[in-house]
Amino acid sequence: MMTGDRDLEELFRARASTLPEPPPELFTRTMERIATPPRRANPIVAYWQRLGQRTELVFAVTAALLVTTFGLGQLLHAYSPGYGGTSERIATIKLDRMPTPPAAALGTPEFAADRDAAIARTASIALLVRDVPAALTALDTVARANGGLVTAINDSLPTDPGDAHTATLTLIVDARRLDAALTSIGTLGAQQARTATAQAIGDSIVDDRARLRNLRREETDLLHIMDRSGSVASILDVESKLADVRGEIEHLDAEVAEMQHRVATSQIDVTLTQAGLTVAPATPTLADHFAGTWHAALRSVVAGLTSILDAALWLVAFAPFWIVAALVALAIVLRLRSRF
């Protein structure tokens, strides 16, 4: 039997003359087809039809999208703070947008019923001032003018000629006058930093009040039981329970009062630094230089690794989008490669 390359060539050559010819009517049909303009198929429908012939690809892409979306949802649910269902909402709000509790409601027993109004507001401000003692006196005046007082002072006098005079103060002012107080404090020097926080504690106050009502009912019930005649042992037992309930009532009362105080007043932390001092930089030793270089290098490595991990997480999070984009790009490339 012939099996060499030359034999194969001979076989194919001999067979070539036996291959069928196209029928003559094919020419007529082809000319008719080119004479009629092609119907422009809807590209989306055409693509969908082609995709329908590759069911395994459709299933794979759909499954990948579903798995990725589900995984992403689980990740978000597990790690996002907004999904945790915490009872307290803490937010940093711009000062000019910070809500102020209604003046009429403040100080009344039911003010905490309005959960949205029960917001504990605090602020901090750092100032560069020319004269720290004068600024301390002015801050005391500001606190009093806004219905409050200075609750803490830490005045650090300079020990070396190059050191700056610094002081930190804690002011308590009427919550309704927090913005005015901050404006007044801001005029005392050059502002270096200014932050404000608002914490909604309405839910906590309402919860504590409900528990208080229950405990007071329980106290009344226990007193009724005490009034009945009974054995000494049972009376002692009821007395013990009554003492526990009263202790809890006092604790909750104090807690509610403290929260009401936090809503009615606002705390301001002020940091004062004496301005106008130029401190000569210390000349670093060779060891300091290398230590600094080493720490900088370590920080760079950590930052680099963090960036890579961040990028990986972004890639995973956006997987549904780039997988689809990649598939589309692949389809386009394959289509272009099939042409010249």
Partner 1 sequence: MVTSAGSDDGERTLIARIAANDPVAFETFYHAYVRRAFAFAFTLTGVTDLAEEIAGDTMVEVWRSAHRYTGRARVATWVFAIAHHRAIGMLRRKHVNVVPLDVAPVAAVWDEPGSDRLGDGSAALNAALATLSPQHRAVLELAYTFDCTQAEIATIVNVPLATVKTRTFHAKRRLRAALERSSLRADAS
Binding site for partner 1 (CB under 8 A): 1-3, 5, 8-9, 11-16, 18-23, 26-27, 29-31, 33-34, 38, 53, 337-340
Q: Which of 211, 208, 205 is nearest to 119 (CA)?
A: 205
Nearest 5 degrees, angle CA 95-CA 97-CA 98?
65
Instruction: Tell me the β-bridge partners of 154.
Output: 168
Shortest approach of partner 1 to residue 329 CB, angstroms?
18
Shortest approach of partner 1 to residue 47 CB, angstroms?
14
Nearer to partner 1, 3 or 278 (CB): 3
Nearer to partner 1, 37 or 161 (CB): 37
Nearer to partner 1, 49 or 187 (CB): 49
Could you give the strand order of the β-sheet that contains 166-174, starting from the edge strand earlier in sequence?
89-91, 190-200, 119-129, 265-274, 166-174, 149-156
Shortest approach of partner 1 to residue 26 CB, angstroms?
6
Distance between first and last Cα of the chain: 42
Tokens 């307290």 correspond to 88
Shortest approach of partner 1 to residue 303 CB, angstroms?
42
Nearer to partner 1, 26 or 60 (CB): 26
User: CA separation (Å) from 126 to 182, 188, 191, 214?
Assistant: 11, 11, 6, 46
3-state secondary structure of 271: strand
Residues 28, 270: Cα–Cα separation, whole Å:
95
Nearer to partner 1, 18 or 80 (CB): 18
Q: Phi, psi at residue 222, to the nearest 5°?
A: -65, -35
